[in-house]
């Protein structure tokens, strides 16, 4: 007797998830949002991982390099074709509503013969379709993806279209940040929020954290450890304004602060992969760094951390802008390696031959690093001084600046490594007024000689709870022609709509901005305004989620106010 085929897993309808996302958009309370997300997670069953990813506007986890590869212009064309609406009308609708998903929903609502008679698509079917799209390569791929997106859009209701469009573009906009997701997982599956956060900091995937919490509970989360070739979130530094302040906070280890790209190198049996602080795999762009680390590290398995710095012929550091040319380069890599040589300065070891070192003291981690690395021409240890003398630390700080570095890092020798945290174990000291890492969310086209460049940029900080980007000021100074060209080329593919000279952008690019002062202001969404913001540098190595928070802006404002 023939066996019946195994039933195909269907799971949740995408429509049900879309309804919950609509509810979240209309819910202002953080606690209520947490309740809504927790309820959805609890009822998700085998769809749990997909649900977590979709709520955060992702098809793949943060560590996964795969991309859907459908840009804003392509989506406008897809919506135009699927609804029979001229592309210009689609653009005008996006400009009027301020969001591509909302515009698509409105246009599909007006479309005759809606999806009422169509079969509902499951969450699993949507995820599988988008996964398949990400795997397509070669000639004709964009046209093929376009046809597939049109087919998907025509298969769901207008409300589902809104979230499907946002999902493909990677911007969900329902206000569920990492904090809400962490608390929702804790509530749904009865695990401590702190344990969920610890697990996330190590494996960078709340969908996996949620699944382990559901199936194995707190005990399962406690077993989560470091995974090779899965980048862990870097420990972040707070700011001090004097050597004495760092000493008062328990710091005795001083290191040069290099103006480069923070890297995390994973080594296993001769294979080396290099990740940035935003968790991007840049091994392809920096084969020289991977090769140099392979030749200088003796351990079979290790995760080490350092700063890769562009240097000139005399090994003097060059500005970060030189290095940024290499970060997203896909072609002519050999040419970049030759024209922009680098040195990697190592300073930490988080994993060694099967042992997680993040719980060990900084002194022990540095000792472990020293044992497994032999310095070479392109890999060196960070310049370090151990002292509790303010005078010696001050001299070391001045020495760093004289050599062209940014300042110093001050570290607590007795502290553990806290992935993803800005705890009081590590501080940075720089001579300039504190800058802010902010995301560009809109811009305006220039005039005259600069008519072909985006020349005025709306900057935003981040609300850590909702993950929303809140405007804080307009930056129109500090950029050279070369940088304006680079910013324009980088930001053009992220334009959501244009109205006159104004363009709304998807938040993808981080810049370091200087300013004269922070003032309270109702003009911007953050409630604050930067006075005379100027471009310091473009930070290709930082993710939008890593930009400075509203809390930090408020703290800096208080400090400015106190000085007056």
For the chain, helix, strand, coil in percent to 5 are: 45, 20, 35
3-state secondary structure of 429: strand
Residues 301 and 407 in one domain: yes
324-331 long-range contacts, CB within 8 A, separation 24+ = 324/537, 324/538, 324/539, 324/540, 324/541, 326/285, 326/286, 327/261, 327/276, 327/280, 327/282, 327/285, 327/540, 327/541, 328/285, 328/540, 329/285, 330/284, 330/285
* Residues forming the active site: 257
Provide the pLDDT for residue 164: 97
Single residue among 429, 448, 475 that ends a domain in this structure:
429
Domain end point (choices 395, 429, 463): 429
Q: Is 95 within a domain?
A: yes
Count how many domains the chain has.
4
Q: Structure pTM? A: 0.82
Q: 3-class SS at 143?
A: helix
Do both 27 and 163 map to the same domain?
Answer: yes
Pair 441, 417 in one domain:
no
Mean pLDDT value of segment 87-106 = 93
pLDDT of residue 339: 93
Q: What is the spatial distance between Cα 516 and Cα 514, in angstroms, rounded to a whole number? A: 7
Residue 481: CB atoms within 10 A of its CB come to 10
Instruction: Look at residue 473 and tell me if it is in a domain.
Output: yes
Mean pLDDT of 348-358: 96
Percentage of residues of the chain with pLDDT beyond 70:
96
Q: What is the DSSP string of 260-304?
A: SEEEEEEEETTEEEEEETT--B-TTT-HHHHHHHHHHB--SEEEE
Beta bridge partners of 274: 265
The region of weakest confidence among 109-113, 366-370, 527-531 is 109-113
231 within a domain of the structure (yes/no):
no
47 lies in some domain: yes
Which one-letter DSSP state was computed for residue 455? E
Query: Which residues on adjacent β-strands are paired with residue 122?
Result: 13
β-bridge partners, 22: none
Question: 157 lies in which domain range?
Answer: 14-169
Same domain, 363 and 383: yes
Largest CA-CA distance found in the chain, in angstroms, rounded:
88
Distance CA 79, CA 94 (A): 11
Q: Are residues 146 and 211 in the same domain?
A: no
> Helix, strand or coil for residue 151?
helix
What is the pLDDT of the chain when averaged over all its residues? 91
Interval 382-410: pLDDT, tens: 999 999 999 999 999 999 999 999 999 99
Residues found in the chain = 564
Kindly state whether residue 5 falls inside one of the protein's structural domains. Answer: no
Is 412 in a helix, a strand, or coil?
coil
Does one domain contain both 400 and 491?
Answer: no
Whether 339 and 415 share a structural domain: yes
Q: Are residues 189 and 288 in the same domain?
A: no
> Could you tell me if 286 and 405 lie in one domain?
yes
Q: What is the pLDDT of residues 190-227, one digit of tens each?
A: 999 999 999 998 999 999 999 999 999 999 999 999 99
* pLDDT of amino acid 564: 54
Contacts of 495 (CB under 8 A, 6+ apart): 72, 503, 504, 505
User: Do residues 500 and 515 lie in contact, with contact meaning Cβ atoms separated by under 8 Å?
Assistant: no
- What CATH number corresponds to the domain at position 309? 3.30.470.30
Clarify whether residues 392 and 458 are in a common domain.
no
Give the separation between CA 409 and CA 160, rounded to whole angstroms.
48
Q: Is the residue at 233 inside a domain?
A: no
Q: Report the phi/psi class of residue 190: left, alpha or beta, with left for phi > 0 and alpha for psi in -120 to 50.
A: left
Do residues 265 and 272 lie in contact, with contact meaning Cβ atoms separated by under 8 Å?
yes
CATH code assigned at 162: 1.10.3260.10
pLDDT digits (tens, 9 = 90+) for 255-313: 999 989 999 999 999 999 999 988 889 999 999 999 999 999 999 999 999 999 999 98
Q: What percent of the chain has pLDDT over 90?
A: 71
Q: How far apart (Å, rounded) are the C-alpha atoms in residues 258 and 306?
A: 10
Look at 562 and 334; give whichever has higher pLDDT.
Answer: 334
3-state secondary structure of 447: coil
For the segment 61-87, the average pLDDT, to the nearest whole number, is: 92
The answer to whether position 2 is within a domain reads: no
Q: Judge whether residue 1 has pLDDT over 60.
A: no
- Distance between CA atoms of 210 and 224, rounded to whole angstroms? 12
- Is 460 a member of any domain? yes
Q: Are residues 414 and 491 in the same domain?
A: no
Judge if 400 and 442 occupy the same domain.
no
């Amino acid at each position: 007797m023939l066996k019946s085929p195994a039933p195909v897993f269907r799971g949740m309808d995408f429509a049900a998830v879309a309804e919950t996302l609509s509810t979240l958009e209309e819910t202002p309370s953080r606690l209520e949002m947490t309740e809504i997300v927790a309820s959805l997670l609890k009822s998700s069953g085998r769809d749990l991982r997909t649900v977590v990813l979709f709520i955060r506007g992702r098809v793949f986890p943060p560590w996964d390099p795969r991309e859907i590869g459908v840009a804003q212009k392509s989506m406008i064309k897809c919506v135009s074709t699927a609804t029979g609406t001229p592309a210009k009308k689609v653009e005008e609708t996006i400009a009027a509503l301020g969001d591509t998903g909302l515009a698509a929903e409105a246009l599909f609502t007006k479309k005759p013969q809606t999806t009422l008679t169509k079969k509902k698509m499951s969450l699993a079917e949507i995820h599988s379709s988008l996964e398949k799209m990400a795997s397509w390569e070669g000639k004709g791929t964009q046209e093929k993806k376009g046809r597939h997106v049109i087919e998907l859009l025509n298969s769901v209701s207008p409300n589902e279209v809104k979230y499907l469009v946002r999902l493909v573009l990677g911007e969900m906009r329902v206000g569920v940040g990492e904090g809400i997701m962490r608390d929702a997982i804790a509530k749904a599956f009865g695990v401590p929020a702190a344990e969920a956060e610890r697990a996330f900091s190590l494996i960078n995937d709340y969908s996996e954290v949620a699944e382990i919490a559901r199936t194995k509970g707190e005990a399962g989360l406690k077993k989560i450890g470091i995974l090779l070739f899965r980048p862990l979130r870097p420990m972040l530094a707070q700011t001090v304004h004097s050597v004495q302040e760092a000493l008062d906070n328990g710091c005795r280890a001083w290191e040069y602060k290099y103006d480069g790209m923070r890297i995390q190198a994973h080594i296993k049996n001769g294979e080396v992969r290099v990740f940035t602080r935003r968790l991007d795999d840049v091994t392809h762009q920096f084969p020289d760094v991977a090769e140099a680390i392979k030749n200088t590290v003796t351990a079979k398995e290790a995760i080490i951390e350092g700063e890769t710095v562009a240097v000139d012929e005399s090994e003097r550091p060059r500005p970060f802008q030189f290095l940024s040319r290499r970060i997203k380069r896909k072609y002519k890599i050999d040419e970049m390696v030759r024209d922009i040589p680098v040195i990697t300065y190592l300073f930490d070891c988080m994993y060694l031959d099967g042992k997680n070192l993040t719980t060990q003291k900084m002194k022990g981690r540095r000792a472990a690093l020293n044992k497994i690395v032999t310095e070479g021409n392109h890999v060196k240890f960070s310049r370090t001084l151990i002292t509790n003398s303010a005078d010696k630390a001050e001299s070391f700080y001045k020495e760093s600046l004289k050599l062209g570095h940014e300042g110093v890092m001050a570290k607590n020798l007795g502290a553990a490594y806290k992935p993803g945290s800005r705890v009081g174990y590590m501080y940075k000291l720089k001579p300039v007024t504190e800058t802010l890492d902010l995301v560009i969310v809109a811009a305006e086209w220039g005039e005259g000689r600069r008519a072909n460049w985006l020349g005025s940029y709306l900057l935003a900080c981040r609300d850590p709870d909702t993950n929303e980007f809140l405007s804080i000021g307009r930056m129109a100074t500090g950029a050279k022609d070369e940088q304006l060209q680079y910013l324009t080329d980088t930001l053009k593919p992220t334009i959501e709509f244009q109205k006159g000279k104004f363009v709304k952008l998807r938040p993808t690019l981080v810049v370091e901005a200087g300013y004269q002062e922070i003032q309270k202001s109702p003009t911007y969404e953050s409630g604050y305004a930067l006075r005379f913001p100027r471009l310091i540098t473009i930070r290709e190595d930082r993710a939008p989620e890593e930009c400075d928070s509203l809390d930090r802006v408020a703290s800096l404002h208080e400090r400015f106010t106190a000085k007056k």
